[in-house]
C-alpha cells in the first residue's frame, strides 16, 4: 500500500526558519510521495485507505548523513581519546574483524536492527574495506526498507596491516569487484565512493578513485578537517595541496558535478570554505562526535550563511547515539557554546533550524526528502508523545516537538514509513 492517508498532528519544515505545524490534519500519500497536508480531505482522495493516528505526532523521517556501521559494536569505548589515538586503539582493530564474514553478519544485523527501530529513515553509511562484509551489510539494509548509501572504505596507508589494503591497485580492484557485484542488485541501497580520509589514502589511490568516479558516476563521502593534528598531517602528506579540501578536489572527488558529503568540517580555513561553497559540498555535522573526540565545534552558522548545505550525522562510534533526535539537541547545544566561547556575533541554532537540518537539510542529499510538501518522498515517523514523562496536557505543537526531540526514545515511535512503505519496527 503506497497510496493512503495518515491523520494526526503534523510538524515539518518548509525552510530553516519556517516550521509548519497542523493539528488534526490529513497527510496524503500517492505512490510513495506526499500529495500535501490538508485540514479538510479533498473529495478526490476520499476513497483511499485512512490510518488514524489522531493525537499522535507525524514527523518527517530523519536523515543520518554520516555513520560507521562497523563501529556500532564498540560505542562508548575510548571516549577519553582524541581522533588519531581513538582510531588506532579502538577503531582499526575492530574494523579488522570484518574480514570474518560470520562476525560481520552478526554485528551488522545488530546495527541494522537498531537503525530500523530508531528515527532514521535515510543514511549515508561507511562499511569497512572488506567486499563480502560490505555486500552483506547492503543486503541487510535493503531488506530493512531503509533507504541508504553505503561505501566500501578505501584505505591503503597509515593503518595496521590487517586493515590497511595492500596497495592502491588492490584497493581499486576490490572497489571494481564490489561495484560490479552490487550493480543493479538493489532498489533502496546504493553504493557511494568512500576514501576514508586523506591520511589513509595514497595519491595513487585517490587518482584511481577519481577515475572510478567517472566510470561509475558515483557520489562521494569522506572526512574533512575534523581535528587539528589530522590537518597538520595532511599538510605534510600532500604538500602541494592548497588546503585539505584541495587534496580531494585535485582528483575530482570534491563536489561540482559529483554529489559529495564531507563529515565534520570543524576547522575550514578561508580557501577551504570558498572551495566548499563553489563545489556545493554537503556538510555532515556530527556534534556528539566532535565533543567526544574533543575535535572542536563546526561553524554551522557560517555554512548556512554561505548557502552550504548541511545535514546531521551521528558518526557512530565517534558519537555514541544512533538517534538523530539526539544530534538535533547536541547541534543546538554546541552552537550555543560556539556563540558563548568562540564568536559572540554568531547566533546559536534554533530548534526549528536544527530540526530542519535533521530532516530537509540532510534529506536533500537523497532528493526531495525530509518534508511533507507535495512532491516529496513520504518518509514519516508516527510518535506517541502521550507517554513522555511527565505528561503535559494541551501543549502547542512546537512544544510537543521540542519534548519529542529532547525526551523521546525508540519506544515512542509507533510506526515508520519510508517512501510510503511501512517498515517492520
Does 124 sit near ligand GUN (CB under 6 A)? no
Measured from the CB of residue 297, what is the shortest distance to ligand GUN in angstroms?
Answer: 15
**Alpha-carbon span 349 to 330, nearest angstrom:** 10
If contact means CB under 5 to 8 A according to the sort of partner, which of ligand GUN, Fe ion, none does residue 312 touch?
A: none
Which of 12, 56, 68, 301 contacts ligand GUN by CB under 6 A? 68
Beta carbons within 10 angstroms of residue 206's beta carbon? 21
If contact means CB under 5 to 8 A according to the sort of partner, which of Fe ion, ligand GUN, none does residue 371 touch?
A: none
User: Which residue in the block uniquely carries the three cell numbers 515512542?
Assistant: 412
If contact means CB under 5 to 8 A according to the sort of partner, which of Fe ion, ligand GUN, none does residue 63 touch?
A: none
Which of 94, 272, 315, 377 contacts ligand GUN by CB under 6 A? 315
* CB of 83 or CB of 298, closer to ligand GUN: 83
Residue nearest to ligand GUN (CB): 318
Does 226 sit near ligand GUN (CB under 6 A)? yes
**Alpha-carbon span 293 to 314, nearest angstrom:** 13
* CB of 215 or CB of 229, closer to ligand GUN: 229
# chain residues binding Fe ion, by CB under 5 A:
2
* CB of 156 or CB of 226, closer to ligand GUN: 226
**Alpha-carbon span 406 to 408, nearest angstrom:** 6
- Answer yes or no: are the C-beta atoms of 86 and 78 closer than 8 Å: yes
Among 83-91, 113-121, 203-211, 353-361, which window interacts with ligand GUN (CB under 6 A)?
Answer: 83-91
Measured from the CB of residue 24, what is the shortest distance to ligand GUN in angstroms?
Answer: 43
# chain residues binding ligand GUN, by CB under 6 A:
11
Which of 72, 108, 178, 197 contacts ligand GUN by CB under 6 A? 197
* CB of 97 or CB of 188, closer to ligand GUN: 97
The dihedral region occupied by 76, where left means phi > 0, alpha psi between -120 and 50, and beta the remainder, is: left
**Alpha-carbon span 120 to 117, nearest angstrom:** 8
**Alpha-carbon span 14 to 187, nearest angstrom:** 28
What is the gyration radius of the CA atoms in the chain, in angstroms? 21
DSSP string, 219-284: -EEEEES--HHHHHHHHHH-TT-SSHHHHHHTTT-SSTTS-EEEEE--S--HHHHHHHHHTTPEEE
- Using DSSP's 3-state secondary structure scheme, residue 415 falls into strand
If contact means CB under 5 to 8 A according to the sort of partner, which of Fe ion, ligand GUN, none does residue 301 touch?
A: none
If contact means CB under 5 to 8 A according to the sort of partner, which of ligand GUN, Fe ion, none does residue 196 touch?
A: ligand GUN
- Start-end of H helices in 81-158: 83-86, 92-96, 101-117, 131-144
* CB of 48 or CB of 79, closer to ligand GUN: 79
Does 315 sit near Fe ion (CB under 5 A)? yes
Closest CA relative to residue 319, chosen from 309, 329, 310, 306: 329
Does 196 sit near ligand GUN (CB under 6 A)? yes
Does 289 sit near ligand GUN (CB under 6 A)? yes
Measured from the CB of residue 312, what is the shortest distance to ligand GUN in angstroms?
Answer: 14
- Using DSSP's 3-state secondary structure scheme, residue 342 falls into helix
Measured from the CB of residue 166, what is the shortest distance to ligand GUN in angstroms?
Answer: 19
* CB of 91 or CB of 175, closer to ligand GUN: 91
Within 345-404, which residues bind ligand GUN (CB under 6 A)? none
**Alpha-carbon span 384 to 407, nearest angstrom:** 12
Measured from the CB of residue 289, what is the shortest distance to ligand GUN in angstroms?
Answer: 5
Measured from the CB of residue 94, what is the shortest distance to Fe ion in angstroms?
Answer: 14
* CB of 5 or CB of 224, closer to ligand GUN: 224
Does 129 sit near ligand GUN (CB under 6 A)? no
* CB of 69 or CB of 369, closer to ligand GUN: 69
Among 26-34, 209-217, 312-320, 411-419, which window interacts with Fe ion (CB under 5 A)?
Answer: 312-320
**Kind plus residue range of the DSSP H or E element containing 148:** strand 147-151
**Alpha-carbon span 345 to 258, nearest angstrom:** 34
- For the stretch 301-337, what's the b/e string if a residue is b when 16 or more beta carbons lie within 10 angstroms of its beta carbon? bebbeeebbbbbbbbbbbbbbbbbbbbbbbbbbbbee
If contact means CB under 5 to 8 A according to the sort of partner, which of ligand GUN, Fe ion, none does residue 91 touch?
A: ligand GUN
**Alpha-carbon span 424 to 416, nearest angstrom:** 8
Q: Which residues bind ligand GUN (CB under 6 A)?
A: 68, 83, 87, 91, 196-197, 223, 226, 289, 315, 318
Q: Which residues bind Fe ion (CB under 5 A)?
A: 263, 315
Amino acid at each position: 500500500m503506497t497510496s493512503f492517508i495518515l491523520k494526526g498532528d503534523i510538524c515539518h519544515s518548509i525552510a530553516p526558519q519556517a516550521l509548519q505545524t497542523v493539528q488534526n490534519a490529513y497527510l496524503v500519500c500517492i505512490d510513495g510521495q506526499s500529495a500535501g497536508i490538508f485540514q479538510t480531505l479533498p473529495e478526490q482522495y476520499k476513497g483511499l485507505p485512512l490510518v488514524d493516528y489522531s493525537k499522535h505526532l507525524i514527523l518527517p523521517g530523519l536523515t543520518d548523513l554520516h555513520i560507521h556501521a562497523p563501529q556500532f559494536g564498540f560505542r562508548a569505548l575510548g571516549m577519553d581519546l582524541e581522533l588519531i589515538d581513538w582510531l588506532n586503539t579502538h577503531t582499526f582493530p575492530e574494523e579488522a574483524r570484518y574480514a570474518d564474514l560470520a562476525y560481520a553478519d552478526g554485528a551488522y544485523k545488530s546495527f541494522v536492527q537498531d537503525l530500523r527501530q530508531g528515527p532514521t529513515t535515510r543514511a549515508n553509511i561507511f562499511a569497512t574495506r572488506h567486499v563480502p562484509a560490505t555486500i552483506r551489510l547492503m543486503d541487510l539494509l535493503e531488506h530493512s526498507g531503509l533507504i541508504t548509501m553505503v561505501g566500501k572504505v578505501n584505505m591503503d596507508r597509515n593503518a595496521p596491516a590487517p586493515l590497511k589494503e595492500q596497495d592502491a591497485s588492490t584497493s581499486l580492484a576490490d572497489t571494481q569487484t564490489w561495484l560490479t557485484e552490487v550493480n543493479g542488485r538493489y532498489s533502496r541501497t546504493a553504493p557511494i565512493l568512500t576514501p576514508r580520509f586523506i591520511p589513509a589514502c595514497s595519491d595513487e589511490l585517490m587518482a584511481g578513485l577519481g577515475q572510478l568516479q567517472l566510470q561509475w558516476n558515483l557520489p562521494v563521502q569522506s572526512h574533512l578537517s575534523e581535528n587539528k593534528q589530522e590537518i597538520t598531517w595532511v599538510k605534510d602528506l600532500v604538500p602541494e595541496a592548497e588546503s585539505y579540501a584541495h587534496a580531494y578536489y585535485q582528483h575530482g572527488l570534491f563536489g561540482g558535478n559529483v554529489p559529495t558529503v564531507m563529515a565534520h568540517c570543524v576547522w575550514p580555513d578561508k580557501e577551504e570554505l570558498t572551495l566548499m561553497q563553489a563545489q556545493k559540498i554537503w556538510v555532515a555535522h556530527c556534534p556528539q562526535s566532535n565533543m567526544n573526540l574533543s575535535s572542536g565545534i563546526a561553524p554551522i552558522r557560517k555554512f548556512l550563511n554561505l548557502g552550504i548545505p548541511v545535514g546531521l550525522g551521528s558518526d557512530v562510534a565517534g558519537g555514541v547515539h544512533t538517534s538523530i533526535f539526539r544530534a538535533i539537541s547536541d547541534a543546538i547545544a554546541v552552537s550555543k557554546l560556539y556563540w558563548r566561547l568562540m564568536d559572540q556575533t554568531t547566533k546559536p541554532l534554533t530548534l526549528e533550524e536544527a530540526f530542519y537540518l535533521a530532516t530537509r537539510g540532510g534529506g536533500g542529499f537523497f532528493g526531495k526528502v525530509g518534508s511533507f510538501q507535495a512532491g516529496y518522498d513520504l518518509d514519516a515517523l508516527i510518535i506517541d508523545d502521550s507517554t513522555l514523562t511527565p505528561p503535559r496536557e494541551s501543549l502547542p505543537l512546537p512544544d510537543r516537538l521540542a519534548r519529542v526531540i529532547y525526551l523521546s526514545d525508540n519506544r515512542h515511535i509507533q510506526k515508520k514509513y519510508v517512501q510510503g512503505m511501512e517498515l517492520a519496527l
